[in-house]
Amino acid sequence: MSSHYQPNRAAAAAIPSVRSTDTWIPPRWALLEHHLMQTLNKAAEEFAERYIRPDGTLTWRKDWPGMDGSDDPYEGFMYLSLLYVLGGSEKAHQLGRLAWEGITWQWTQYGQIYRDFDAYYDWMHHGEGYLYFYFLGLTDPLVLKDRQRAQRFAAMYTGDDAEADNYDKERKLIRSPITGSRGPRHVLTEEDWCTHRGILDNYLAPYEDIPGVDFASGKCQWSNDEIYGHIVRLMNERMTRGDVPLNLNATGLITHAFLYSGEESLRQWVLGYIDAWSERAERNGGIMPDNVGLNGEIGQFNDGKWWGGYYGWRWPHGFMTIIEPLVNASMNAVLLTGDRDRLRLAREQIDRNWALGREENGKWVTPHKHFDTGWAAYKVPNPVYPVYLWTVSMAEEDAQRLERIAIQDYHLYVDVPNYSGGNPRTGKETKHYIANTVPWFQYMRGQRPDYPERILEANCQLVSLQLEKLRSPEGDPAGWTEDGFSEGALSSIHKWQEMCPVYFEGLLQLMLGAPMHISHGGLQHGRVRYFDAQGQRPGLPESVAALVSELADDSVTLSLVNLDLFAEKEVIIQAGTFGEHRFETAYVLASEQGTTAGAAAGNSGPSADAAVQAEIAVGGKWFAVQLAPGAGIQLRIAMQRYVNQPTYATPWADPADDAALISGREV
């Protein structure tokens, strides 16, 4: 039991509940979930023992140059915390907190972090690294350091921190693509980019007119000193002043602070900033511009062009870094308001991009980049973004936005049994091993009925492969400590992600009834989450498995199984990751197969079409289920979505009721 939780037994006792004594022969998915959770707990400890010193710092080099850095170790260890949220061990939680503090201190010493937050970098990388910080909010809402930091970090982007003057309140714009605890970075140096030079040699040039670069070749020699000097000069002239859509990922940081405090000004900041970008798109004929000057004008420092900004339509990824922040921000806006029309901004950009497409070889392809010569880089659209919108809206129009895409040819998606987080076209790893968002959506749409077993098998295989790599000579951190600026020495910044065995996409999907977060800064939304009533902690109790098998706009269908034949377990189900939904009535579905339910391979438990055995009025965001030893239950819970103010509050702990934050001295 986490020592931070102060149990409120009276409140817990008031939660409506049901008890099941219906014995289930464990379904295969439940056994796989249990095995995977046990394996992940042990893998987390081995991973931490291999790479984390007792003080939380990482075994690595004595110095680290440039502005890049802290996001990568944060990414490597952040899933220790998210695992705990699902029901992972208390040890994983402790290790996750230890690593957060150690990395924050270590990269402060290297120079990338200042006042506990990145001194300056972009919101592609802030978004990746601070997922860790968001997950910590789900582990324990009463940790004073987390709450204090959340408020302080938010102030760096709301215009309320004089030292980090990143935000123009009047124009509602973030003053640079490169921001952080030291404020906007309007002048980049050659040292800032030194860790990227070898990698970026294989990327498209940021501009068509860099002296000595053939733009049409698709490559740009950052490792050439003369060319590098031109790149940095042109970036400072054209890219480093003013706002970019990528900065919409900052809405996650502000929403995170709101989930602790409920402060209305934070909600209004998120909505106002999104509205400002909506107005800019409207001003640009509906297409989202990728650069806005300090005066609020599109293309102020870019010869009036609406394309060509930092992480924009031209360089380096194109549409991905336009649409991802829009999806993240739109989902945050729905969470904060309950208004699902707030998805409009992301939908409009997806639809406009689709309308710009053309048919090639019998498939509809859309432009993913815009150069001075016009639209370019036509390819099959990425189908994941409509999935995220659909999980929020449950609207058929969002499902159709995905189903019109030739997803069988989209290169990220592989057959589930072969899933290893890899891109079969390039052989490179998919970011954070999030690779089965579309197959999960198909399962929710009544396709792929064997998806639960197959994805859990694949996750088990992935953990095994990662452990092999961690234990190999490649995983020995003694070989990563080489100092200097060679490409090999600099690439070691990614080693913790490459060796991490704590990946569990399928486990999260099946338990929460949602896809894994967008890796560049998306909060972990979910239809439900769980708490261990007896342990007074987040996550499922040990030996309990959960499966969300159906989603509708007004209901969720899920099964719970107690695999422990000797102890009763009690699960508290919450309506939404942040309690944003409300349960109305819980229907216990009768098993037509009695004690044989789920015995057959591939059977997810009693049919969702089974007769209703019992009906319980809930009328709130929590519902408790007591499971006798070996018992299972399937529930269809009627609900209203996005009707509660979202919060990190648990059945026992509400940060709004806790002591006030500490105020520093005025010097």
Residue 622 is predicted with a pLDDT of: 98
What is d(CA 626, CA 624) in angstroms, rounded to the nearest whole number? 7
| DSSP classification of residue 411 | T
- CA distances to 186, 289, 325 from 382, rounded to whole Å, are 33, 20, 15
Which two structure tokens, joined as six digits, stand for 11? 């409140």
CB burial string 225-243: b at 16+ within 10 A, e below: eebbebbbebbbebbbbbb
pLDDT in tens, 331-375: 999 999 999 999 999 999 999 999 999 999 999 999 999 999 999
Tally of CB atoms within 10 A around 628: 18
Residue 528: phi and psi, rounded to 5, are -140, 165
Q: Which residues of the chain register pLDDT less than 70?
A: 1-13, 409-431, 483-485, 487-488, 592-609, 667
Which one-letter amino acid corresponds to residue 635?
Answer: L
Q: Please check whether residue 605 is in contact with residue 557, taking contact to mean a CB–CB distance below 8 angstroms.
A: no
> If you compute the radius of gyration of the chain from its CA atoms, what whole number of angstroms results?
24
User: Would you state the pLDDT for residue 67?
Assistant: 94
Structure tokens at 327: 């999806």
Structural tokens at position 339: 């208004």
Q: How many residues does the chain have?
A: 667
Under 8 Å CB-to-CB from 92, ≥6 apart: which residues? Answer: 40, 41, 44, 45, 80, 81, 83, 84, 502
Q: Give the Cα separation of 460 and 448 in Å (integer).
A: 19
pLDDT at 566: 98
Q: State the Cα–Cα distance between residues 560 and 20, nearest whole angstrom.
A: 10
Phi, psi dihedral angles at 74 (to 5 degrees): -55, -45
- Return the closest-CA partner of residue 89 out of 652, 541, 504: 541
Cα angle 543-135-277, degrees, rounded to a multiple of 5? 140
Range 9-26+527-657: architecture per CATH: Sandwich (2.60)
Cα separation, 392 vs 335, whole angstroms: 9
Q: d(Cα 352, Cα 220) in Å, to the nearest integer? A: 30
For residues 577 and 566, the answer to whether their CB atoms sit within 8 Å is no
Q: 374: which strand partners?
A: 371
Say what the pLDDT of residue 484 is: 67
What is the model's pLDDT at position 658?
79
Contacts of 468 (CB under 8 A, 6+ apart): none
The interaxial angle of helices 144-158 and 250-261, nearest 10 deg, is: 130
- Which segments within 145-280 are labelled E, that is strand? 167-168, 173-174
The confidence score (pLDDT) of residue 418 equals 53
Give domain limits for the chain: 9-26+527-657, 187-239
Cβ–Cβ < 8 Å for 233, 225: no
Q: Name the DSSP letter for residue 23.
A: B
Cα-flanking dihedrals φ and ψ of residue 389, to 5°?
-65, -40
User: Closest Cα partner for 290 from 330, 238, 341?
Assistant: 238
Report whether 255 contacts 335 (CB < 8 A).
Answer: yes
At 616, which helix (H) or strand (E)? strand 612-620
Give the global pTM.
Answer: 0.95
Task: Tally the C-alpha atoms within 13 A of residue 217's C-alpha that lie toward its C-beta.
Answer: 12
Q: Which two tokens stand for residue 477?
A: 């951190």
